[in-house]
Structure 1
Amino acid sequence: MAELGTIRRTGAGVRTAEIDEGLRSHMNKVYSTMSVGMLITALAAWAISGLAVTTDPSITGMQIGADKYLTGLGATLYASPLKWVVMFAPLLFVFGFSAGINKMSAATAQTVFYAFAAVMGISISSIFLVFTGASIVQTFLVTAIAFASLSLYGYTTKKDLSGLGTFLIMGVIGLIVASVINIFLASSALAFAVSVIGVLIFAGLTAYDTQNIKNTYLQMAHSGDQEWLGKSAIMGALSLYLDFINMFMFLLQFLGNRE
């Protein structure tokens, strides 16, 4: 009986070690995919903003700063009706991606995620025209530190954060509605309130999503379905990517120095 008990304990220990190793690998996949997406977004935003500005006033005549004018591309993206498409394209992309991921392979889903990251870069490229480069870098570093701390908390805490999910998602919907309304109202007070609330909501979502990614893996690790786990890692990367981007954009509204 002692030997049988030892075998059972050893088997359980080996299984636990396998799950822990698998979880670490899964989280590394989530964070690495998210990081590549962030890099693609940054490069796309920087490249498009560079192509959108010129010192030659004869191209469009649309001045945006001292010796800065929009190029034809800049006028199309930021000063034509197409700007609405550029603005809302990432949101539509997310809805389509989430609805169709079950029909994709993990490799296709990863490619689509990277394509989404590029679209997001185009959508937020105007920040390089509005804010100073130094303030963008500074805000990014602040966001990175806050994100890492909150994600670590979500991963390590024993407290169940699942109860926050519905509340935070409803908060996101409220933020989207308020942001759309403020496009037409152009209220600085409402913009400030949205930014502050947005930072708090996406800070909470960072911890919540991290814990949810971890718990989802632990629940499904026994299935051995590597294709499903691969797509789960990509969806986890998408969730954390959106948390980071939104927290960064809201922080930039009141931390960034405008050109």
Structure 2
Amino acid sequence: MAEFDTIRSRGAAVSQAEIDQGLRAHMNKVYGTMSIGMVITAAAAWAISGLAVTDIPGGVPLRPGTYLTGLGETLYLTPLKWVVMFAPLAFLLFGWGALMRRGSAAAVSLGFFIFSAVMGVSMSSIFLVFTPYSIVQAFLVTAIAFAGLSLFGYTTKRDLSGMGTFLMMGVFGLLGVMIVNLFIQSELMMNVIAVVGLLIFAGLTAFYTQAIKSEYVAHAAHNDQEWLDKAAVDGALSLYIAFLNMFQFLLMFLGQQE
């Protein structure tokens, strides 16, 4: 892991004060961009869920007094639901890397915000399944846990880079189990997935935070603002994904359904 001393030893290029000030500004941009993405996701999910249901009889009944609209049926009951569900993952696997390599900082930011909106559409069904109290509770608990884990990743002197590969292997293994469980619908397996997923993304929150900090320090002397702007959005995306996954797994495990 790159440490502050590595840059400071380079001498005249970048002063300690400049590194410290630049790092604070960089992290503020990471968290700020992530927060905007979260707001976009929440707004998109809430708006779509509101358009997907009605109290006017005639559509597919969701629960007593509530029916799916035409939009709701299309999003949740037709094959389009698979597109909505896997579109964010497909973008992360096949689109984000290319955008980071070839796109400008502005294009990368726009891509992140569009991704956040699509993620909101993908997550909109939680407003139809879980009670508002459960959703707010899970969000607040996640926010508190995320803040503590990210602070740990930022301040710890322990090198967390070794756990990154292990955690990412866990992510792909967990994804495979989740896909299998889409078809077998095992409640026990769902609970296990929720607990394991929560632990994995808790670890990734600390790991990503330290990686963002280390990456900035390693490149601070280059003074490439375009690269730093793109790196801030990339870091925001990593933390955004960790937060949303912690939230969803916590909601799966503790949330009360309507």
Query: Matched residues in 2 for 1:178 and 1:26: separation?
Result: 36
Deviations 1:179-200 (A, max 9, x none): 0000001011111101000000
1:181 and 2:180 are equivalent in the alignment = yes
- The one-letter code of the counterpart of 2:116 is A
1:20 and 2:20 are equivalent in the alignment = yes
Name the structure, 1 or 2, with higher relative contact order (CA <8 Å, separation 6+): 2
Deviations 1:83-113 (A, max 9, x none): 0000001101212112321100001100110
1:215 and 2:245 are equivalent in the alignment = no
Percent of aligned pairs sharing the same letter: 62
Query: Matched residues in 1 for 2:102 and 2:79: separation?
Result: 33
Structure 1 stretch displaced more, 124-133 or 94-103: 94-103
- The one-letter code of the counterpart of 1:219 is A
Query: Matched residues in 1 for 2:177 and 2:97: separation?
Result: 23
- Asked which structure has the greater CA Rg, the reply is 1
Give the C-alpha shift of residue 66 in structure 1.
1.5
Structure 1 ranges of 4+ moved more than 2 A: none
Q: How does 1:246-257 map to 2 (within 5 A)?
A: 246-257=245-256
Secondary structure of 2:18's counterpart equals helix
Give the C-alpha shift of residue 138 in structure 1.
0.6
Counterpart of 1:165 in structure 2 is 164
1:98 and 2:111 are equivalent in the alignment = no
Q: How does 1:33-52 map to 2 (within 5 A)?
A: 33-52=33-52
CA contact (8 A) 2:55 2:65 kept: yes
Secondary structure of 1:163's counterpart equals helix
Counterpart of 2:75 in structure 1 is 77
User: What TM-score does the superposition give when structure 1 sets the normalisation length?
Assistant: 0.94
In the alignment, structure 2 segments of 5+ residues that lack a partner are 1-7
Give the C-alpha shift of residue 28 in structure 1.
0.3
Deviations 1:174-222 (A, max 9, x none): 1110000000010111111010000000000000000000000000010
Query: Matched residues in 2 for 1:34 and 1:100: separation?
Result: 18
Query: Matched residues in 2 for 1:185 and 1:225: separation?
Result: 50
Secondary structure of 1:56's counterpart equals coil
Counterpart of 1:5 in structure 2 is none
- The one-letter code of the counterpart of 2:197 is G
In the alignment, structure 1 segments of 5+ residues that lack a partner are 1-7
Give the RMSD, CA atoms, in angstroms. 1.5
Counterpart of 2:66 in structure 1 is 68
Counterpart of 1:117 in structure 2 is 116
- The one-letter code of the counterpart of 1:72 is G
